[in-house]
Chains A and B, each alone.
Chain A
């Protein structure tokens, strides 16, 4: 199974400041079809997760442009250019290149 490792586990950030979350996979996430199925999800307390970014860097419909994804192979990053209050919660990276699909352990974003 592909192990997904996120850092940091917790990230206190002041409003208006940038935030960055890293995700490393135990093996390459490049699929045989040439795509890399690495996505980022956000979960607010008491809510289901929602898709933010798919295939490394594509923002999902309705996601603000302050969110951006980057990376390749086994190293990936989610960046928030200016954190807003609604961004609190837990962020997960997920690989869907191979079954079983696997998630990172989550990064909790809180306002400092």
Chain B
């Protein structure tokens, strides 16, 4: 089955760190660029970060630049988001999303993992 499964969310104190994982299956992970998108409770969607298929190109939203790091491990078919210096406004469901091959549309989404930043 073609799917993305996120993990690693949870409750963390302000200033803390968390690493999210997204495991891909059922398709050739190495062929696709990947993204993280988040959704605060009751709010809309916010793009967070992008990594190209070769990891050579990475982009970040200004709101997370310098605090979050995206990476991938092709051997494990895994995408990661290292989140440091977490703030209350980072509280959200974090989704990984696949770029449609050769294009820039998000054609496959995971179920999401909830990150709560609170003392």
Task: Give residues in A with beta carbon < 8 Å to B.
Answer: 31, 35, 37, 39, 41, 43, 48-51, 54-55, 60, 90, 92, 94, 96-97, 99-106
* A55 CB contacts on chain B under 8 angstroms: 103, 105
A-B contact number at CB 8 A: 60
A selection of 5 A-B contacts at a CB cut-off of 8 Å is A31-B104, A37-B103, A48-B109, A48-B112, A96-B105
* B59 CB contacts on chain A under 8 angstroms: 99-100
Render B98-119 as a binary contact track against A, CB cut-off 8 A, 1 for contact: 0010011111011110000000
Contact B112 A60 (CB under 8 A): no
CB distance from B117 to the nearest CB of A (A): 21
Contact B47 A49 (CB under 8 A): no
* A37 CB contacts on chain B under 8 angstroms: 103-105
* A99 CB contacts on chain B under 8 angstroms: 50, 59
Contact B44 A105 (CB under 8 A): yes
Contact B106 A41 (CB under 8 A): yes
Contact A103 B45 (CB under 8 A): yes
**Complex: how many Å from CA A43 to CA B111?**
12
CB distance from B59 to the nearest CB of A (A): 4
B35 within 8 A of A: yes
A-B pairs, 3 with minimum CB distance: A96-B104, A54-B105, A48-B109
**Complex: how many Å from CA A100 to CA B60?**
7
